[in-house]
């Protein structure tokens, strides 16, 4: 396949995205637009100078600038505009279902009401469902560098909007903040009927993945790269069909891998792990879904069967109804039957 043929094939694949932080889709142009609208002065004098800052040596360096960008989000319209910009972008890449994270504490810690944050996001998601035919699930993430008490306050604030939220997750600085730190709030979240996921094994060890499974009782691992360090863990993931939401360009930019050729997704597929491709924080890491598929496929020389498997895995691992999963998986297979 030539690069152009590969790009054309990837463009046509019906896709789902399961690991996307809405605040991480904040493109510099929109950030400046909203900053100007809200009379906030950014630490950068232009879009170009802001983009130059998007060079990270680790997760923490990225998080520092991620939280800085979020400071300009003040009103419901800001959160609506942020989410709508993401949806229109992924619609152009043939993404048909999204399961996105939002970080309420990033905003409530600044004095922004939970209702302001979720209302803007939810209204954009509903508009996307009606006008772009993109179905969605919404996941509320707890920030692991903050206390479990803070997470409990977030859970309490979410209760009036429970019908809008499908699950809870765990993100932010992984090292030194093991999943077990949040055992109680995850148990309380499960009692409220939320589905459970957690970031684990990105920078943290395979032990963190075990904790997420055994202590938090999660049903899907976000990242999970380090699972390959532990054969017993790999066996567990395969037997229990626990999906990994991998984010290749993110892994490259945050130095989780040295080069794209080192990415473990092909090995994971070979072993039978339910691995999926996602973009994580696309505004900061150089690409949305199609770019992640393309750079991964190019570096690892993935064939059409592997590309099809990744797309199918995305639907398998989603929180759609079984009927909807089947419908989309048939569409993926039908599409690949037309690809020469």
Catalytic residues: 202
What is the spatial order of strands in the sheet that 243-246 belongs to? 15-21, 95-102, 135-143, 167-171, 195-200, 220-223, 243-246, 275-277
How far, CA to CA in Å, does 184 sit from each of 70, 189, 263?
A: 28, 9, 34
Q: How far apart are CA 23 and CA 176, in angstroms?
A: 23
- Tally of CA atoms within 13 A in the half-sphere of 152 that contains its CB: 10
Which is it for the CA torsion 313, 316, 319, 324, positive or negative? positive
For residues 222-251, one letter each, b for 16 or more C-beta atoms within 10 angstroms of the residue's C-beta and e for the rest, the string is bbbbbbbebeebbebbeeeebbbbbbbbbb
Lookup: tokens for 52: 């130059």
Q: How far apart are CA 107 and CA 73, in angstroms?
A: 8
Residue the block writes with tokens 């396949």: 1
- Looking at the DSSP bridge assignments, the partners of residue 231 are none
Q: In sequence order, which residues have a C-beta less than 8 Å from that of residue 58 and are 6 or more positions away? A: 203, 254, 255
Q: In sequence order, which residues have a C-beta less than 8 Å from that of residue 339 and are 6 or more positions away? A: 9, 12, 304
Residue the block writes with tokens 């032990």: 207
């Amino acid at each position: 396949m030539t690069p152009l043929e590969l790009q054309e094939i990837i463009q046509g694949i019906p896709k789902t995205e399961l690991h996307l932080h809405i605040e991480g889709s904040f493109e510099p142009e929109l950030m400046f637009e909203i900053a100007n609208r809200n009379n906030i002065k950014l630490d950068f004098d232009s879009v170009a100078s802001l983009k130059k800052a998007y060079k990270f040596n680790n997760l923490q360096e990225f998080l520092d600038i991620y939280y800085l960008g979020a400071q300009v989000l003040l009103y419901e319209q800001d959160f609506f505009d942020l989410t709508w910009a993401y949806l229109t972008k992924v619609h152009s890449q043939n993404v048909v279902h999204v399961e996105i994270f939002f970080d309420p504490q990033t905003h409530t810690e600044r004095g922004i009401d939970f209702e302001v944050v979720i209302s803007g996001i939810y209204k954009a998601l509903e508009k996307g469902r009606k006008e772009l035919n993109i179905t969605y699930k919404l996941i509320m993430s707890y920030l692991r560098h903050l206390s479990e008490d803070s997470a409990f306050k977030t859970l309490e604030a979410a209760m009036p909007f429970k019908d809008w939220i499908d699950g809870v997750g765990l993100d932010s600085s992984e090292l030194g903040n093991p999943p077990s730190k949040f055992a109680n709030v995850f148990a309380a979240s499960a009692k409220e009927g939320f589905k459970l996921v957690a970031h684990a094994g990105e920078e943290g060890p395979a032990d963190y993945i075990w904790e997420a499974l055994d202590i938090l009782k999660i049903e899907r691992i976000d990242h999970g790269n380090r699972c390959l360090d532990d054969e017993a863990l790999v066996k567990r993931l395969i037997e229990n069909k626990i999906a990994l939401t991998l984010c290749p360009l993110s892994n490259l930019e945050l130095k989780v891998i040295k080069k794209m050729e080192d990415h473990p997704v092909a090995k994971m597929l070979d072993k039978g792990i339910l691995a999926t491709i996602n973009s994580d924080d696309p505004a900061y890491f150089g690409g949305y879904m199609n770019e992640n598929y393309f750079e991964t496929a190019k570096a690892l020389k993935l064939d059409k069967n592997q590309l099809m498997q990744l797309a199918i895995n995305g639907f398998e691992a989603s929180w759609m109804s079984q009927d909807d999963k089947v419908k989309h998986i048939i569409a993926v297979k039908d599409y690949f039957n037309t690809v020469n």
